[in-house]
Structure 1
């Protein structure tokens, strides 16, 4: 359990990407906590100052790429393309400060809109600007951003229409954390529905949710504690160490992934079926907060209606 792990922990390195992530999150936090301004006792101002300082550092150090030291064996999460992080940080700072310079930086770094992942966050800038920037963005530019979003959503509808399972998942989507790919697609579709009120987008998003909750080639509901057949042995240290047979409920397992980097005993090799409910399987049965996040968003979006 975490409280029993007494090993030293280290913070290693400083990168452009992580600095921009920091700037984006703290700029957003300044807005999120605005209703609680009195209770925050100046924290919001501190966060915004830190976000702007981080932005300045990133502009001055635009290509600081993180590389794992030779004596560290944990995942490197290598990334050497930072336009998407610059665009996201600029968008968040623009919405928070209303400083047009940040929007001009967004336009400079604006990247192709695609399904978001841990390494490619361009869509997060699109989302923020669409839902919080309409009143302060030039109408022509706003229309361009909206068109990019709907083009992506329409592409996902096309994948859904081509799928025998009626879910917009293609072979290349079955990567590490494939369920987060599915759920991020549902997020995009729910946002397209909100922008247009077109029910098609909502229906496709619901089909993705059905897929994650059990209507898939494995028959597993990939959310622990939900459904008649859900993961019992996720690659999750707390669930494995707490002395309780069932895992902590409400966690999204990574999902089918044909890479099989963990060397576990898989029964199938087809991308959509390569999943095993075993602690051994960190390639398909791992738990990660950024996989759970879009599930929370999509469920909240549906319940809000």
Structure 2
């Protein structure tokens, strides 16, 4: 029996808003899960009615198990703090004669998401392995953990090392609520960070996140170039991405292939701090799909860091080329698995690799303009040019490759045109689904699975890419709807990002949090999961018969609903980058 009491301490609001807030110029909607006719927007403090109107016609939302109505208060643009009340008819004072529900307080302002951006970026810093952290913001004060990674042991032997040999696998981020470090989600996370920077470079600045590590200034200035107005300073987002890229480098073998993960042979206890986990750490596995993702991320790094850290950019390009050369020489998919290698860490297994190979070659084409990568795509992967566009996740990065190709100067014009049309068609279908959903969430019933929040954010990011091809206010509104969902406009009433909004997750499944007793803001948690993939969540679903969008518990024991991972947060940067650009 779990310690969590199903149904306890859940938010009681029936009027749902983005609990962080809205940009002045952006669409603003609340969702009311009550039978009412009118809404009013009230200023916090004196209760002044600033706007009122009719609620929408009822919208059936089977995934939420509700009939809802929407309040559109997009006309509200004055900065301030507000709440939305719904009820039946207006009184003479301008309020509602009968109030049926009221939202939590939210804010309208150009800087409304700045805190969320800072928290989500600096969380990666707090999750650095082998790094001492003394953070005055969160109170996290820990010595460097897992320093044994500098001498990790090979779990197996290969042509370059014998079983038991030492390898420097230090650095990088803890992947999730555990202390493992994995190449595929690391490469995919970095790739999405760099994509966000490429799309919205002005949204990410040096110093905006106050990174809490000694030497962060040195990381920013290392190998830097002079800028027109003085010396360049690496944006915080790129500081963090570079830290992970440097760990990924250490996982590359001499022939270009990339090992799979670093972890111990058994899971640490949930309340075990990093410094207390002194277990021997091992380098496990090797995969062609991970090697391809590595090649893609390094090819992107070669572009992004060229003006900031040219020596690192040159090294990244060499890494990408070596990885791709290995793949070209080894055309069959490979996932090395040794007995018991998953006993203390996640598998992140995939036995195919074509989508990732496409991404790698497309990024190298975009970075270098070398037509041999275009030829490689035409010979080996011509069918993937016409494959369905879909939201990228750690085990399917095809659309990152399709985007890289269509934005490459060396792309075939006809191929690029068809891909552009495919992105726009995907966006049109997705917007129709969003507009039909009561909460304007991009998830269908099947999408409420493990890491559903990540999937919603990733779909939102795809709408922004489509908007770059063919600008459409519906695409931007649909993308922002997914940010609103993650930040609390949900059927459960929870925000799915720690520290954000009135009802954020307070009990994430995370060993660093439990082991240190420190609450860490900025974690995008898995979210609603209709499959109930852990005992705690399964118990809640069995006792409540919750519909898909409400299959969530804020409990440490619920790792399939309340765990964070580096790739869960990754797609939020594209959305926050766009939002910050809109606000400027």
TM-score by length of 2: 0.49
Q: What is the RMSD computed on CA atoms of the aligned residues?
A: 1.7
Whole-Å separation in 1 of the counterparts to 2:295 and 2:420: 24
Alignment correspondent of 1:81? 352
- 1:64-98, CA deviations, whole angstroms, 9 ceiling, x for partnerless residues? 12435235323222212211001100011111111
- Residue in structure 2 matching 1:22, options 280, 287, 294: 294
Whole-Å separation in 1 of the counterparts to 2:322 and 2:341: 31
- Contact 1:67–1:78 at 8 Å: present in 2 too? no
1:43 aligns with 2:315: no
Answer with 52-61 or 183-192: which moved more.
Answer: 52-61
1:298 aligns with 2:575: yes
- Residue in structure 2 matching 1:72, options 326, 342, 354: 342
SS across alignment from 2:282 = coil
SS across alignment from 2:562 = coil
Alignment correspondent of 1:63? 333
* Aligned 1:191-206 pairs, distance under 5 A: 191-206=465-480
- 1:212-268, CA deviations, whole angstroms, 9 ceiling, x for partnerless residues? 111111000111111111100001121222233xx2111111100122222003144
Alignment correspondent of 2:370? 99
Per residue, is there more strand in 1 or in 2? Answer: 2
- Residue in structure 1 matching 2:420, options 146, 153, 156: 146
- Contact 1:259–1:283 at 8 Å: present in 2 too? no
> Cα distance 1:68–1:284, how it changes in 2: closer, same or farther (>3 A)?
farther
> Cα distance 1:72–1:149, how it changes in 2: closer, same or farther (>3 A)?
same
- Residue in structure 1 matching 2:392, options 91, 112, 116: 116
- Structure 2 unaligned residues grouped into runs of 5+: 1-272
- Contact 1:68–1:76 at 8 Å: present in 2 too? no
SS across alignment from 2:514 = helix
| Alpha-carbon shift at residue 275 of structure 1 (Å) | 0.5
Alignment correspondent of 1:2? 274
Answer with 145-154 or 84-93: which moved more.
Answer: 145-154
| Alpha-carbon shift at residue 4 of structure 1 (Å) | 2.5
Alignment correspondent of 1:164? 438
Answer with 158-167 or 170-179: which moved more.
Answer: 158-167
Greater relative contact order (CA < 8 Å, ≥ 6 in sequence):
2
> Cα distance 1:143–1:242, how it changes in 2: closer, same or farther (>3 A)?
same
| Alpha-carbon shift at residue 23 of structure 1 (Å) | 0.9
SS across alignment from 1:197 = coil
SS across alignment from 1:35 = coil
- Contact 1:88–1:106 at 8 Å: present in 2 too? no
- Contact 1:93–1:102 at 8 Å: present in 2 too? yes
1:258 aligns with 2:534: no
Aligned residues: 298
Whole-Å separation in 2 of the counterparts to 1:83 and 1:71: 24
> Cα distance 1:155–1:177, how it changes in 2: closer, same or farther (>3 A)?
same
- Contact 1:66–1:78 at 8 Å: present in 2 too? no
SS across alignment from 2:283 = coil
- Contact 2:296–2:360 at 8 Å: present in 1 too? yes
Whole-Å separation in 2 of the counterparts to 1:68 and 1:255: 32
| Alpha-carbon shift at residue 59 of structure 1 (Å) | 2.1
- Contact 2:496–2:524 at 8 Å: present in 1 too? yes
- Residue in structure 2 matching 1:271, options 548, 552, 555: 548
Whole-Å separation in 2 of the counterparts to 1:72 and 1:226: 33
SS across alignment from 2:351 = coil
Answer with 51-60 or 182-191: which moved more.
Answer: 51-60
Whole-Å separation in 1 of the counterparts to 2:562 and 2:327: 35
Whole-Å separation in 2 of the counterparts to 1:220 and 1:169: 16
Whole-Å separation in 1 of the counterparts to 2:505 and 2:365: 42
> Greater Rg, structure 1 or structure 2?
2
Whole-Å separation in 2 of the counterparts to 1:66 and 1:218: 41
Whole-Å separation in 1 of the counterparts to 2:480 and 2:411: 31
TM-score by length of 1: 0.92
| Alpha-carbon shift at residue 278 of structure 1 (Å) | 0.6
SS across alignment from 2:377 = helix
- Structure 1 unaligned residues grouped into runs of 5+: none
